[in-house]
Amino acid sequence: MLQSVETNQITPPAKTQAEYTALLHTVLNARYGSAPRAFVHTYGCQGNVADGERMKGMLAAMGYCFTDTVEDADLVLYNTCAIREHAEDRVFGNVGALKNRKAARPGMVIALCGCMMQQPRVAEKIRVSYPFVDLVFGTHVLHRLPELLYRTLCGAGRVFELPDEAGGIVEGLPVVRDSSFKAFLPVMYGCNNFCSYCIVPYVRGRERSRTLEAVLEEARALVKAGYRDITLLGQNVNSYGKNLETPVSFARLLREINALPGDFRIRFMTSHPKDCTRELLDTMAACGKVAKHLHLPFQSGNNRVLREMNRRYTREQYLALVRYAREVMPEISLTSDVIVGFPGETYAEFQDTLSLVEEVGFTSLFTFLFSPREGTPAAKMPDPISREEKGRWFRELTDLQERVAGGRNQGLLGRRFRVLVEGPGKKEGFLAGRTEGNIVIEFPGDSALTGSFAEVRVTEALAWILRGQLEAE
Ligand code: SAH
Ligand code: SF4
Ligand code: F3S
């Protein structure tokens, strides 16, 4: 249900968002005749995807239907990500390509939102060099989409709405989810950590948690609607609830969701190693519905680099956490993020990243080449290593991880897993399912199984993928 959000707005508008939504029905009908089509594309992390799903919910309430192609869209909305330069370049490329589309289809509205827009340099570039973009808004006002779209369609000029400060969390926004069995459930927004390379705290503001009741209500509704895999989201879920009026720990939140009746899995991300406690690991071990999968980004295996990154843990503390996690959950699957080529990192220091990867044996790794982000301390640090050199290190790391994962996969031959069937696999006639540890197994089967749990025995182990056969429950 769409609620009034008047109390959270910076400048009180004349109307509530629900009133703008109702007005837009008439405006859109007069402008486009039949149901207008929206093309919504989200870049970046799962948190951004969750935002995109809420914006789709608001658009559906206004009367929009959705299209997968820009060509026949009446509204194009790009929900952008600023984490690395590459992500930004893709957005500028795609937006540039809209210039001719819009010339051929003048009724089209082009809107940009998300983390990139929260950077003044980007908003200015759009203002000056992309005059065909009609609406630009930041991460803190997405709940005001009805009002912003109304102003764009009925006002005289372009609309730029980019406040710096986050207001309170707006609950009750409608949601159109991308999947009918896997769901993202944001539990908190923003980040207080200021890792020296990272733009997120600047574009997402300080940490804000949803109340325990609000999270539980959404979790209950998801389970009731048949969702089987629920991922709790936050940049640092371990600080969930610390600033609530009545503080609640993330471990408590996990226990409460675990206690909801129903057959479903709970995942969460991201867990910051500096705040990942033994209590959290004990809670994971004790909660049957919490997947034995921990995404614990280490970023670098070298203590000097970790200090420069402002990560506030050491290699030794990280490894101690991994040891404890394996002690209480011998089967736990670990995944991580790594940055290669942080400014000033030497080849000798990079060897510590390689040795950590070898020592831990991650199920999978997300590897990134350092990308300077304007306004962050790391962007100003001397960075003498060439891109080519960093590229060579990067390949060394991915080759090592391929060997490590291949070895781990061999050990899974003959094992039986409960998988959530997600849809067609890469191989013709095969389905893809995901284990509790987030490992993908492909197996021959009927697509009617999509969205349900199935028992699969591993019959073939390749470096990146497992193949198997269905077995009776
Ligand atoms: N909150 C999460 C990370 C979110 S960003 C955490 O602290 O673990 C996802 C990943 O992007 C990070 O873990 C990091 O590996 C990578 N990343 C962030 N900023 C980057 C940059 N400037 N260059 C390269 N990779 C970056
Ligand atoms: Fe970025 Fe660090 Fe916050 Fe993660 S914890 S979002 S890496 S600042
Ligand atoms: Fe990107 Fe913003 Fe997420 S910068 S990674 S979309 S929080």
> HEC states along 34-60?
CCCEEEEEECCCHHHHHHHHHHHHHHH
Q: How far apart are CA 234 and CA 237, in angstroms?
A: 5
Average pLDDT over residues 152-180: 94
Greater confidence (238 vs 8) lies with 238
Our answer on whether the CB atom of 370 is closer than 6 Å to any ligand 1 atom is yes
Cis peptide before 363 (omega within 30 of 0): no
Q: How far apart are CA 301 and CA 401, in angstroms?
A: 14
| Ligand 3 neighbours (beta carbon < 6 A) | 44-45, 47-48, 81-83, 115, 199-200, 203-204
Our answer on whether the CB atom of 84 is closer than 6 Å to any ligand 1 atom is yes
Q: Is the pLDDT of residue 99 over 70?
A: yes
Q: Given ligand 2 and candidates 115, 191, 271, which is best to mutate, with the most ligand atoms within 8 Å of its CB?
A: 191
| Ligand 2 neighbours (beta carbon < 6 A) | 191, 193-195, 198, 200-201, 235-236, 272
Strand partners for 42: 79
Average pLDDT over residues 270-283: 96
Q: Given ligand 2 and candidates 195, 237, 239, which is best to mutate, with the most ligand atoms within 8 Å of its CB?
A: 195
**Sign, CA torsion 194/197/199/202:** positive
Q: How far, in Å, is the centroid of ligand 1 from the Cα of 155?
A: 39
How many Cα atoms sit within 13 Å of 7 on the Cβ side? 6
Our answer on whether the CB atom of 373 is closer than 6 Å to any ligand 1 atom is yes
Ligand closest to 203 (CA) is 3
Ligand closest to 115 (CA) is 3
Kindly report, residue by residue over 420-455, the tens digit of the pLDDT. 999 999 999 999 999 999 999 999 999 999 999 999
Q: Is the pLDDT of residue 13 over 90?
A: no
What average pLDDT does the chain have? 95
Ligand closest to 234 (CA) is 1
Residue positions counted in the chain: 473
